[in-house]
Structures are given as structure tokens and as C-alpha cells.
């Protein structure tokens, strides 16, 4: 059973964890420079900063994944050198990563067992898993296979697996990025309980209102250096953002005179079976998107958003060409390249491997998506100057920060790579842009740049479809919002009428289940 009140944590005599002059060099590049942080028991401590500020490097050192170049860590006042994550866990340090490390075809219990030391029988471990998940209000059935679970349930597995190791200190990286508002509230209740038990939590998030609500202390990093430690509850989201970026965050504003025109993307009763046994079947999806308009699609990940993106982009073809219409032309049967020639552009959710080839230079990645509708290829030969010009324009317009003019995609931080991918497509001036999770995991400054660019593109007459799990983002930039649930799409509603509560209920399927049943009867 989990010890919910570790006696050693209640003294408050010294920090649980201290970093003293912690420095990490990669050649001449300083990822972390002389960082001092004190993290106390019974504290939720936010770690804030732009993409590339040094947050990931710091938590990797704390969790034992990499070694510091200089400085030291102290655990309950004593110097600590970690040989790896297993030693970190043995000392009471747990971590829940932003990207889940689960095997879809294994059960919940089997996935949890892979992260434990194997000292108890599988039967006893399964019983303890069920008990811990019940006690903390994170219910899990140990016997269910992971592919059957929602994203929120999958995150529960990661958290419960960490809790089963009885951590004194828990690191959470963007824990609400894939949750509904109701699931996020449930997580906050769990974190408040862990804090009350005397545990320390290091909380990484770009959602500053969430940080203000939950965290006691915040440390801000910028350019690998510690800039400030403050009480986030005494700050505004704007003041926290200013500390992160070193200046004012650009205000996102829609053009006052933006006009809608003719339908530029039309989907007519799209139904599509998944090509993955664990995928989601798209069922009777219809919508119309006009030029000058931004339509948002909300929903918990895994409800058909990936399948819809594949159908719209041409990665999956529809049986009826008229199911998808781009600028008046039936396109359901056309390839990605043919759809790009019609003026469509696509930004997938996954940055590395889908949005870019990691080991290829940025200019080569620009060529991969731009060759169909640009001057990058002439008479069968690549125009290298044109590919580099695309990189340079994107770098300048979207403030893409990189070590050299044309580096490999994998060398960029997540936020800078996202700005490059989105910027590369927007600068083509597409008639239709389909973008998935445009600002997932990027800092406030980068998010503002990307959101403003989407608004500006719509103002120029393009039709923009944005799939996002960030309801604040959708509220800021969209004209209408629809919700995906189990492969169905709700009727789009005006953004001004889409409250968080209403969207949260739709994301949980409260009214879409009725729509699903109605289609089943009609079939």
C-alpha cells in the first residue's frame, strides 16, 4: 500500500531537493548555467520558460537521465549523484513525461509492471494498482488493454505507476495538455492531495492561468539561466509571460474587417474505416468552411482527429471523390501532392517524423512539402536557392531560433520546430490550411506568433481548420467550434456561445452519444 504520509517530509527543516550552480554544457553551448533552485516538501513548484530555455535539460539532470557538467544536487541536505532514473526512483523521485510510454496491446497492469522493480507478484501488484488508483480518485481497471482507453485514462496509468513507487518528489511535464477541463480539475484535486501529504511536485506547463491556480512557487528560466523565483499567485499571466520572454508578449488580434467568402473546404457525409486496428472509424462527418473563416475542432485526443486529418490531407483516400471538396473541386480521391496543387496545405500534430524528417536539413524538409506548388523544382532539378529562401523567410517571419542557417530538423527545440513547420505552410499563402495542434507544447511567445499568423491567413481569404485540445486557443482565434467524439463531429457552434462547460461535456460524449445512436438507427 502507498504510504500517504512519509514522516520524513513533515519536518520542513530543509529543502527536499536543492540544485547548486547546476550547469550543463554541450560543446560551447550552455543549456543550463549555474542554476540554483530549492524545492520544499508540501510545495507545488512551477518551472517556466520559453521553448529552449533549459527546462528539459534541468529535469533530465534531476531525474538522472543526463549528468551535469558542473554544480551539484542535494537531496535532503546531502550531496546526490544519480547514475540513472532507476536510482532517482529508488530515492523517491518520480516523473510523468509529456509523451506517454505505454504499449497499446498490453493491459494496464502489464504496462505498470514494466515500470516497477518486480519485487512483488503480478497478482499482488495488480491489486495494489487498483487500490492506489481508487484511493487517489484515478480509477483504473488493471485488466483492460491500453488501446481501449481514452487519453485521460492513459495519463492516469502514468501517474498511478509513479505513485506506486511512493515518491517524495514528483515531476509532471505538461500534464493537462491532453485533458478535458473536467479531467484537469480532477488532476488538480489529486495534486492538492499529494501536496497535503507532504510530497513535493515540480510542475512544468505553458498554461499560466493553471500555474497561478495551482502552484505555490515558480522558477523562471530564460536562455539556460534562472531569471526569477516568484509567487505565481501574486503575478498575472502577462507578468509571468514577460519574465519568460524578457519583454511584452504580442497581443493576438483578429482583423476588424475580416469577411467570409465562398466555401473553400466542404466535407460531405465522410465515413471512413480506420487502417489501424486500434484506430477510430469516422462516421457521417459533414461541415462547410468558408474563406476568411477559422473553424476549430475540439476533443480529447484519440477520438478521430488523426483519422480526419489523414482523410483531409490525402494520406487516406475516400471512396467517393465528392466527399471532400477543395475550392469547388472534388478531392476525396486525390493524393497529398494533388491536393497541394489545388492550394491546400497541411500541418500534422507530430513534429518529428510526420511534419519533418528529423535528420534532414530544414531546406530539404521545405522541399518535401513545397515542391508541388512552388519554384523549388525546375525541369527535374532542385532549386537549392529557392529551398534556402523558404528557410530564411520562415526564420525571419516566425522568429525561428537555430544555431546555423540550415540545420537538421531534430536540432531545433520543439517550439522553434513548430514555428518552422507552421510558417513553412502559411508562407505558401494556401487557399485552405488544415492544422493539427498548432501550439501544443510551445511557449506563450511562440504561441502568439503562430495564432496571429493563422488569423492573418484567414483575413487574406483562406479557409483555416484548426484541431486543438487547448480550449483557450480555440476561443481566441476561431469563429466556430465543433467537437470530435468517437469518430462523430458535433454541429459547429459560434465560438461566442461555446462555454468551457458545454465543450467539456461534448468532449465527454454527453450529447454526441445521442447523435451516434440516431445514425445507428438510421443505418
Q: pLDDT digits over 439-455, tens only?
A: 876 777 888 889 999 99
Q: Is the pLDDT of residue 513 over 60?
A: no
Q: Are strands 70-75 and 17-26 parallel, antiparallel or unpaired?
A: antiparallel
- The pLDDT score that the predictor gives to residue 232 is 96
Distance separating alpha carbons of residues 425 and 442, to the nearest angstrom: 18
- The pLDDT score that the predictor gives to residue 257 is 78
Q: Is the pLDDT of residue 8 over 50?
A: no
- What are the residues whose beta carbons fall under 8 Å from the beta carbon of 117, sequence distance 6 or more? none
User: What is the overall mean pLDDT for the chain?
Assistant: 89
CA dihedral sign, ordered 344, 251, 414, 95? negative
- The pLDDT score that the predictor gives to residue 336 is 95
| Residue 500: band (very low, low, confident or very high) from pLDDT cuts 50, 70, 90 | confident
In percent, the amount of the chain with pLDDT more than 70 equals 95
Q: Which range (235-244, 419-428, 483-492, 504-513) has the least confidence? A: 504-513
Contact 362, 403 (CB under 8 A): no
Contact 204, 234 (CB under 8 A): no
Mean pLDDT for 228-255 is 89
Contact 171, 223 (CB under 8 A): no
The more confidently predicted of residues 213 and 250 is: 213
Distance separating alpha carbons of residues 423 and 442, to the nearest angstrom: 14
Q: Is 393 helix (H, G, I), strand (E, B) or coil?
A: helix
Q: Mind listing the domains of the chain with CATH numbers?
A: 7-92+166-245 (3.40.50.300), 263-522 (3.40.50.300)
Q: Is 39 helix (H, G, I), strand (E, B) or coil?
A: strand
Distance separating alpha carbons of residues 439 and 448, to the nearest angstrom: 9
Distance separating alpha carbons of residues 410 and 407, to the nearest angstrom: 8
- The pLDDT score that the predictor gives to residue 113 is 92
Q: Is the pLDDT of residue 1 over 50?
A: no
Helix (H) or strand (E) holding 371: none
Contact 179, 207 (CB under 8 A): no
Mean pLDDT for 246-265 is 85
| Residue 180: band (very low, low, confident or very high) from pLDDT cuts 50, 70, 90 | confident
Q: What is the pTM of this model?
A: 0.76
Q: How many CB atoms lie within 10 A of CB 221?
A: 25
Question: What is the 8-class DSSP label of residue 427?
Answer: T
The more confidently predicted of residues 334 and 13 is: 334
- The pLDDT score that the predictor gives to residue 229 is 95
- DSSP-assigned letters across all residues of 226-288: EEEEE-GGGS-HHHHHHHHHTSPPPPP---TT----SEEEEEEEEEE--SSTTS--EEEEEEE
Q: Which range (271-275, 458-462, 517-521) has the least confidence? A: 517-521
Own/partner pairs, 128-136, CB within 8 angstroms, 24+ separation: 128/1, 128/2, 128/164, 129/160, 129/164, 131/1, 132/1, 132/2, 132/160, 132/163, 132/164, 133/160, 135/2, 135/4, 136/160, 136/163, 136/190, 136/193
Q: Is the pLDDT of residue 238 over 70?
A: yes
| Residue 119: band (very low, low, confident or very high) from pLDDT cuts 50, 70, 90 | confident
- The pLDDT score that the predictor gives to residue 511 is 62
Distance separating alpha carbons of residues 516 and 20, to the nearest angstrom: 57
- In the sheet with 29-39, reading across from the earlier edge strand, the strands are 29-39, 17-26, 70-75, 78-80
Contact 355, 435 (CB under 8 A): no
Distance separating alpha carbons of residues 388 and 362, to the nearest angstrom: 8
CA dihedral sign, ordered 329, 332, 334, 339? positive
Q: Are strands 17-26 and 493-494 parallel, antiparallel or unpaired?
A: unpaired
Q: pLDDT digits over 359-390, tens only?
A: 999 999 999 999 877 778 888 899 999 999 99
| Residue 520: band (very low, low, confident or very high) from pLDDT cuts 50, 70, 90 | low
Mean pLDDT for 471-486 is 94
- The pLDDT score that the predictor gives to residue 7 is 38
Q: pLDDT digits over 126-135, tens only?
A: 999 999 988 8
- The pLDDT score that the predictor gives to residue 434 is 98
Q: Is the pLDDT of residue 488 over 90?
A: yes
Distance separating alpha carbons of residues 232 and 208, to the nearest angstrom: 9
Residue 35, classified by CB atoms within 10 Å of its CB into exposed (0-12), middle (13-18) or buried (19+), is: buried
Helices and strands in the chain: count of H runs, count of E runs: 17, 23
The more confidently predicted of residues 464 and 159 is: 464
Q: Is the pLDDT of residue 9 over 50?
A: no
Distance separating alpha carbons of residues 379 and 364, to the nearest angstrom: 18
Cα dist. 186→13, 95, 211, 251, 403 in Å?
A: 31, 19, 15, 31, 41
Q: Is the pLDDT of residue 171 over 70?
A: yes
Q: Is the pLDDT of residue 518 over 70?
A: no
Distance separating alpha carbons of residues 219 and 428, to the nearest angstrom: 39
Contact 282, 311 (CB under 8 A): yes
- The pLDDT score that the predictor gives to residue 522 is 54
Helix (H) or strand (E) holding 382: strand 381-382
Q: pLDDT digits over 266-317, tens only?
A: 999 999 998 877 789 999 999 999 999 999 999 887 889 999 999 999 999 9
Mean pLDDT for 32-37 is 96
Backbone angles phi, psi at 385, to 5 degrees: -60, -40
- The pLDDT score that the predictor gives to residue 11 is 47
- The pLDDT score that the predictor gives to residue 15 is 95
Contact 263, 447 (CB under 8 A): no
Q: All 3 cell numbers of residue 31?
A: 543549456
Among 26, 50, 163, smallest CA distance to 443 is for: 50
Q: How many CB atoms lie within 10 A of CB 452?
A: 16
Contact 84, 65 (CB under 8 A): yes
Q: Is the pLDDT of residue 52 over 90?
A: no
Amino acid at each position: 500500500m502507498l504510504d500517504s504520509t512519509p514522516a520524513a517530509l513533515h519536518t520542513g527543516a530543509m529543502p527536499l531537493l536543492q540544485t547548486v550552480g547546476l550547469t550543463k554544457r554541450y560543446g560551447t553551448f550552455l543549456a543550463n548555467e549555474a542554476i540554483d533552485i530549492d524545492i520544499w516538501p508540501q510545495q507545488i513548484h512551477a518551472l517556466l520558460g520559453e521553448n529552449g530555455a533549459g527546462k528539459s535539460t534541468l529535469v533530465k539532470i534531476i531525474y538522472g537521465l543526463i549528468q551535469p557538467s558542473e554544480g551539484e544536487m542535494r537531496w535532503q541536505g546531502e550531496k546526490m549523484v544519480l547514475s540513472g532514473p532507476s536510482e532517482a526512483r529508488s530515492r523517491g523521485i518520480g516523473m510523468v513525461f509529456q509523451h506517454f510510454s505505454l504499449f497499446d496491446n498490453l493491459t494496464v497492469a502489464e504496462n505498470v509492471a514494466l515500470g516497477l522493480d518486480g519485487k512483488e507478484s503480478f497478482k499482488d501488484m495488480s491489486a495494489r494498482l487498483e487500490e492506489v488508483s481508487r484511493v487517489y480518485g484515478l480509477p483504473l481497471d488493471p485488466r483492460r488493454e491500453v488501446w481501449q482507453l481514452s487519453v485521460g485514462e492513459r495519463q492516469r496509468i502514468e501517474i498511478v505507476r509513479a505513485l506506486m513507487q511512493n515518491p517524495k518528489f514528483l515531476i509532471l511535464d505538461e500534464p493537462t495538455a491532453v485533458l478535458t477541463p473536467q479531467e484537469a480539475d480532477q488532476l488538480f484535486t489529486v495534486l492538492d492531495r499529494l501536496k497535503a501529504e507532504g510530497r513535493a511536485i515540480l510542475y512544468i506547463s505553458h498554461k499560466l492561468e493553471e500555474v497561478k491556480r495551482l502552484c505555490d512557487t515558480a522558477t523562471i528560466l530564460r536562455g539556460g539561466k534562472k531569471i526569477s523565483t516568484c509567487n505565481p499567485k501574486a503575478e498575472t499571466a502577462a507578468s509571468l509571460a514577460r519574465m519568460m520572454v524578457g519583454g511584452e508578449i504580442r497581443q493576438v488580434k483578429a482583423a476588424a474587417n475580416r469577411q467570409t467568402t465562398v466555401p473553400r473546404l466542404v466535407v460531405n457525409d465522410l465515413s471512413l474505416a480506420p487502417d489501424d486496428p486500434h484506430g477510430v472509424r469516422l462516421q457521417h462527418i459533414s461541415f462547410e468552411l468558408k474563406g476568411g473563416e477559422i473553424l476549430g475542432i475540439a476533443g480529447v485526443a484519440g477520438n478521430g482527429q488523426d483519422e480526419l486529418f489523414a482523410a483531409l490531407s490525402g494520406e487516406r483516400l475516400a471512396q467517393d471523390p465528392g466527399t471532400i471538396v477543395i475550392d469547388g473541386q472534388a478531392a476525396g480521391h486525390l493524393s497529398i501532392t494533388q491536393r497541394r496543387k489545388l492550394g491546400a496545405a497541411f500541418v500534422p500534430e507530430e513534429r518529428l517524423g510526420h511534419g519533418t524528417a528529423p535528420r534532414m536539413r530544414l531546406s530539404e524538409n521545405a522541399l518535401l512539402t513545397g515542391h508541388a506548388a512552388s519554384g523549388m523544382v525546375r525541369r527535374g532539378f532542385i532549386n537549392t536557392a529557392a529551398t534556402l529562401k523558404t528557410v530564411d523567410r520562415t526564420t525571419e517571419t516566425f522568429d525561428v531560433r537555430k544555431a546555423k542557417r540550415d540545420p537538421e530538423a531534430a536540432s531545433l527545440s520543439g517550439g522553434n520546430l513548430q514555428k518552422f513547420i507552421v510558417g513553412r505552410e502559411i508562407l505558401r499563402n494556401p487557399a485552405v490550411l488544415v492544422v493539427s495542434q498548432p501550439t501544443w507544447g510551445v511557449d506563450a511567445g511562440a504561441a502568439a506568433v503562430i495564432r496571429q499568423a493563422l488569423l492573418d491567413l484567414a483575413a487574406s481569404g483562406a479557409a483555416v481548420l484548426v484541431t486543438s485540445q487547448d480550449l483557450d486557443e480555440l476561443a481566441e482565434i476561431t469563429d466556430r467550434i465543433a467537437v470530435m467524439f468517437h469518430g462523430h463531429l458535433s454541429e459547429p457552434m459560434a465560438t461566442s456561445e461555446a462555454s468551457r462547460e458545454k465543450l467539456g461535456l461534448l468532449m465527454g460524449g454527453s450529447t454526441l452519444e445521442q447523435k451516434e445512436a440516431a445514425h445507428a438507427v438510421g443505418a
